Structure 1
Amino acid sequence: MHNFEKAPIFVYVINVDWYFELHWLQRALATLNSGAEVHLVMGMTDTRLMDSFSQYGLVCHQWNIDRKSLNPFFNLKGLVDLYQLLKSISPDVIHAITIKPNIYVGLICHLLKIPYLLSITGTGIIFSGKALSTRLIRPAIRLLYKASKRKDIKRRIIFENNEDRAYFINTGLCDSPEAVTILGAGVNPDIYEPVAERETDTPIILFAARLLWDKGLGDLIEAAKRLRSQGLKFSIQVAGIIDNSTVNAIDQRVLEAWGREGAIQWLGTEKNMPRLLAQANIVVLPTFYGEGVPRILIEAASCERAIVASDIPGCREIVRHGINGLLVPARDIEALAEALAQLIQNPEIRKIMGKQGREIVERDFSEQQVISETLSLYKELLS
């Protein structure tokens, strides 16, 4: 393990607590265990999470950030609040995660002259969305990323996949030497362990993701209609976080209506993902969102489940077509239906793909590897 010489002060700046718990908690705890003092600055939505972070020894600060607001006045207030908070903590390194914290921290570190890291956890709706509001704001976001480049402050920009890294470098949003790829959040293969599929004539297809339209659940429902009209037997389980603080959220009433129609089985938010994966036969993510590396796909591969996913950056990183799953063009319902049909009808192929997925995770996507690579970057910025 990397141990720091003297106790440096680290601050993680992130938009919301549940996202931090899901993707970043293990890295923050490893930083703490290496001898650092660790602060979390974020939008706190759940007091139970705040209590559990504090019990670990992480210092929590509430930051009022509206993740979907484009109101300049409100965003300026968020920036000023963050500046004052960071100045009072006086950290040695700041790690900002997701677009708004990235931009705010990039600008603030100009003034405070503190080494920092930005994590690009996929390009998100801002870079991939088709709505007019996102298209209008995109040039401003790009300009702000460019504005935060400085030669006299050490920084690293961490990408979850190489295609996002190339895009940022090629469009001048960052420089090649400062851009690093660390593949997703990783999972612990001992927790996400292989469980043999239950033999069944009605395979369970699992869709588990943040409930945004861009994650492709609507396309999955359409593909399922076609498959059922061909007489194929299967069921679709849907689990995930309903995230109303973002545009493109699927309304819970829509999910409940699909449940009543028998299109899906709506499970709500599920904490025990290994259990959910153990009872599934196939995992699907027909996303057209700007992904980093979707965690559910790493978890699925670790549990030896065959995957159907969109052929886009991030999904391509973990799913190798024909090896541990099938990649289909995003928004192509016909191709999605065909890929699902192939796996529904072939339990043997699913089994082989599952085994190969597990090997990919053990080699490239273990949590330990991600933690080790992240702590190495921290040491580099401190030196």
Structure 2
Amino acid sequence: MRKLCYFINSDWYFDLHWIDRAIASSDAGYEIHIISHFIDDNIINKFKTFGFICHNVTLDAQSFNALVFFRTYHDVQKIIKNIKPDLLHCITIKPCLIGGVLAKKFNLPVIVSFVGLGRVFSSDSMPLKLLRQFTIAAYKYIASNKRCIFMFEHDRDRKNWLSWLDSKNNRLLLLMVQALIQRYTNILLNRITMSLLYCLPAVCCGVKDWAT
């Protein structure tokens, strides 16, 4: 059975916005793993009823503590080496950074999902401006993974990253994913269409030229 591993900063956010996609991928035959900072036992139990395998890590979405960040990197690295996922899907900025770097290191197919740019890209404070440059450099490294796809919920974010990454090849991948999303959202969203949209990561996992 192929393995799809989600990496996200908080359990409640996955439960609110991503669980339907995970269920659709599970129905398509994928073993679902979720790496997150789990704080609610009710959510863990809910995920387990769907057969999802939960991996808890220390990850604070609001913290800029470098020691905590690198400890999380180390913990996630061990988890991913143990899971050996066929596809890694990272959501929100810290999981995208950590998971993206590890996917490059282990030559894994990865989807990097941006749900917004966050404080690092909206603040004018000098420390965050410096962190912004580091973050852009890290994403350029992540983008050098030919098995990486960037996915966006907002077109303005996509356009910003196209200019920051300054890469023709990655621009084609970004536009391809955007076109897929537009195609499905322009169709009457019946049950079958929604399943196709939710299963997009799993579908990508089966694309030979990308996932192998």
Aligned equivalents of 1:364, 1:164: Cα separation in 2: 26
1:265-319 residue CA offsets vs partner (Å, 9 max, x unmatched): xxxxxxxxxxxxxxxxxxxxxxxxxxxxxxxxxxxxxxxxxxxxxxxxxxxxxxx
Q: 1:20 aligns with which of 4, 14, 34?
A: 14
Q: Secondary structure at the match of 1:171?
A: helix
Q: 1:381 to 1:363 in 2, by over 3 A?
A: closer
Residue 128 of structure 2 corresponds to residue 134 of structure 1:
yes
Q: Given the alignment, which residue of 198, 204, 209 partners 1:380? A: 204
Alignment check: 8 A CA contact 2:22 2:198 kept: no
- 2:161 corresponds to: 168
Q: Alpha carbons of 1:167 and 1:377: their partners in 2 closer, same or farther (altered >3 Å)?
A: same
> Higher helix proportion, which one?
2
Q: Deviation at 1:89? A: 0.8
Where structure 2 has 5 or more consecutive residues not aligned to the other structure, the ranges are none
Q: Which structure has the larger Rg?
A: 1
> Equivalent residues in 2 for 1:53-68 (5 A)?
53-68=47-62
1:54-203 alignment runs, 5 A limit: 54-151=48-145, 153-172=146-165, 175-179=170-174, 180-181=177-178, 182=181
Relative to the length of structure 2, the TM-score reads: 0.84
Aligned-residue CA RMSD (Å): 2.4
Higher RCO structure (Cα 8 Å, ≥6 apart) = 2
5+ residue gaps, structure 1? 1-6, 187-360
Q: Which residue is equivalent to 1:42? A: 36
Q: 1:165 to 1:84 in 2, by over 3 A?
A: same
Q: Note the C-alpha offset of 1:66.
A: 1.9
The answer to whether the 8 A contact 2:89-2:201 is kept is no
Task: Work out the CA distance in 2 between the residues paired with 1:373 and 1:143.
Answer: 31
Q: From the superposition, tell whether residues 105 and 25 of structure 1 become closer, same or farther in structure 2 (CA, over 3 Å).
A: same
For 2:67 and 2:188, the matched residues in 1 are separated by 43
> Counterpart of 1:114 in 2: which secondary structure?
coil
Aligned residues: 200
Instruction: Provide Cα deviations, 1:143-185, integer angstroms capped at 9, x if missing partner.
Output: 111111225x4121110122211111122166112212347xx
Counterpart residue type for residue 80 of structure 1: H
Tell me whether 121-130 or 40-49 shows the greater mean CA deviation.
121-130
Residues 155, 381 of structure 1: 8 Å contact kept: no
Distance 1:19 1:116 in 2: 20
Q: Is the 8 A contact 2:93 2:114 kept in 1?
A: yes
Q: Percent identity?
A: 26
